[in-house]
A and B are shown apart, each in its own frame.
Chain A
Amino acid sequence: MKRTRSLLIAVVLALWGSACSQQADEIRIGEYGSLTGGTATFGTSTHEGVLLALTEINAGGGLLGKRVTVITEDDQSKPEEAVTAVLKLIKQNQVVAVVGEVASSRSLAAAPVCQANKIPMLSPSSTNPKVTQVGDYIFRACFIDPFQGSTMAKFAINTLKVRRLAILTDTKNDYSVGLTQFFRDTVKSLGGEIVAEESYGEGDIEFKAQLTAIKAVNPEAIYVPGYYTECALIARQARELGLTATLLGGDGWDSPKTAEIGGKAVDGTYFTNHYSADEQRPEVQKFIADYRAAYGGKVPDAMAVLGYDAMRMLAAAIARAGSSDGPAIRAALAATKDFPGVSGRITIDGERNARKAIVVLKIDNGEFRFVESIAP
Chain B
Amino acid sequence: MEQFIQQLINGLAWGAIYALIALGYTMVYGVLRLINFAHGDVYMIGAMTAYYVAHWLGFASAPSLQGFVVVMIVAMALCAALGALIELVAYRRLRHQPRSSMLITAIGVSMLLEFGGQRVFGPDPKFFPQLIESHSLFRAGGVVLTNLDALVIVVSLVLMIGLRWVVMKTRVGMALRAVSFSYDTAALMGINVNTVLSLTFMLGSALAAAAGAMVGLRNPKIDPLMGLLPGVKAFVAAVLGGIGNFPGAVVGGVLMGVTETLVAAYLSSTYRDAVAFVILIGVLLVKPTGLFGKVTVEKV
Assembly CA distance A201 to B264 (angstroms):
11
User: A261, B142: Cβ atoms under 8 Å?
Assistant: no
Q: Counting CB contacts under 8 A, is B198 at the interface?
A: no
Known A-B contacts: A40-B124, A76-B123. Give 10 more (CB < 8 A). Answer: A171-B270, A201-B272, A205-B226, A208-B261, A209-B262, A209-B265, A212-B10, A215-B6, A216-B142, A233-B220
Assembly CA distance A239 to B261 (angstroms):
18
Provide the B221-251 mask, 1 if CB < 8 A to any CB of A, else 0: 1010010000000000000000000000000
Which of B14, B136, B266 has a CB less than 8 Å from the CB of A206?
B14
Assembly CA distance A237 to B218 (angstroms):
9
Q: Counting CB contacts under 8 A, is B64 at the interface?
A: no
Range of interface residues on chain A? 20 to 34
Interface residues of A in 219-263 (CB under 8 A from B): 229, 233, 236-237, 240-242, 257, 260-261, 263
Assembly CA distance A151 to B158 (angstroms):
51
Provide the A23-41 mask, 1 if CB < 8 A to any CB of B, else 0: 0000000000000111010
Which of B11, B134, B221 has a CB less than 8 Å from the CB of A205?
B221
User: B125, A38: Cβ atoms under 8 Å?
Assistant: yes
Provide the B1-16 mask, 1 if CB < 8 A to any CB of A, else 0: 0110011001100100
Assembly CA distance A261 to B7 (angstroms):
24
User: B144, A242: Cβ atoms under 8 Å?
Assistant: yes
The answer to whether residues A37 and B124 also contact, given A200-B269, A240-B146 and a CB cut-off of 8 A, is yes
The answer to whether residues A236 and B134 also contact, given A208-B261, A210-B264, A216-B142 and a CB cut-off of 8 A, is yes
Counting from the closest, the 5 A-B pairs by CB-CB distance are A209-B264, A205-B219, A208-B10, A209-B265, A216-B3
User: A209, B221: Cβ atoms under 8 Å?
Assistant: no
The answer to whether residues A37 and B270 also contact, given A205-B219, A233-B219 and a CB cut-off of 8 A, is no
- A-B contact count, CB below 8 Å? 86
Q: Counting CB contacts under 8 A, is A199 at the interface?
A: yes
Q: Counting CB contacts under 8 A, is B130 at the interface?
A: yes
Q: Counting CB contacts under 8 A, is B165 at the interface?
A: no
The answer to whether residues A212 and B7 also contact, given A200-B269, A229-B221 and a CB cut-off of 8 A, is yes
Interface centre among B11, B14, B264 (most CB of A within 10 A): B264
Contacts of A160 in B (CB 8 A): none
User: B139, A242: Cβ atoms under 8 Å?
Assistant: yes
Q: Counting CB contacts under 8 A, is B122 at the interface?
A: yes
User: B3, A261: Cβ atoms under 8 Å?
Assistant: no
Q: Counting CB contacts under 8 A, is A198 at the interface?
A: yes
Interface residues of A in 51-99 (CB under 8 A from B): 76
Contacts of A213 in B (CB 8 A): 3, 7, 265-266
Assembly CA distance A84 to B30 (angstroms):
44
Q: How far is the CB of A90 from chain B (nearest CB, A)?
A: 25
18 A-B pairs, CB-CB below 8 angstroms?
A36-B122, A38-B223, A201-B269, A205-B219, A205-B221, A206-B10, A208-B10, A209-B264, A210-B264, A210-B269, A212-B3, A213-B3, A213-B265, A215-B6, A229-B125, A257-B127, A261-B127, A261-B220
B2: nearest chain-A partner, CB-CB:
A216
User: A209, B269: Cβ atoms under 8 Å?
Assistant: yes
User: B269, A199: Cβ atoms under 8 Å?
Assistant: yes
Contacts of A257 in B (CB 8 A): 127
User: A206, B127: Cβ atoms under 8 Å?
Assistant: no
Q: Counting CB contacts under 8 A, is A204 at the interface?
A: yes
Interface residues of A in 257-274 (CB under 8 A from B): 257, 260-261, 263
Contacts of B260 in A (CB 8 A): 209
User: B221, A199: Cβ atoms under 8 Å?
Assistant: no
Q: Counting CB contacts under 8 A, is B185 at the interface?
A: no
Contacts of A240 in B (CB 8 A): 134, 136, 144, 146, 148
Contacts of B223 in A (CB 8 A): 38
